[in-house]
Amino acid sequence: MNMHHEMSHDEIARAKLAALRCEHRDLDEAIAALSAQQLTSSLALQRLKKQKLVLKDQIARLEDEITPDIIA
């Protein structure tokens, strides 16, 4: 039997959200480690922080997409 299950849009969004959150945590750890070093490149640190902010925005957009609008 060939059981082929296509992921729904919601399942795809949730999987992507989990991956983005993991990448965000990894960047957070990399920033902390780089900040702790004596000879830290401020440019490298700025790039990581900018990348982290981009991820945060992507996470927020996906969360908004997944969360249903509730009209009160």
pLDDT digits (tens, 9 = 90+) for 25-60: 999 999 999 888 877 788 989 999 999 999 999 999
> What's the average model confidence in pLDDT over 15-25?
96
pTM attached to this predicted model = 0.77
CA distance 65 to 15: 13
- Is 3 inside any structural domain? no
CA distance 63 to 17: 8
- Is 23 inside any structural domain? yes
How would you class 13 by CB atoms within 10 Å of its CB: exposed for 0-12, middle for 13-18, buried for 19 or more?
A: middle
Q: Number of structural domains, the chain? A: 1
- Is 5 inside any structural domain? no
CA distance 15 to 22: 11
Question: Containing domain of residue 57, as a range?
Answer: 11-66
pLDDT over threshold 60, residue 23: yes
Q: Which residue has the tokens 């480690």?
A: 33
- Is 29 inside any structural domain? yes
User: How many other CB atoms are there within 10 angstroms of residue 25's CB atom?
Assistant: 12
- Is 6 inside any structural domain? no
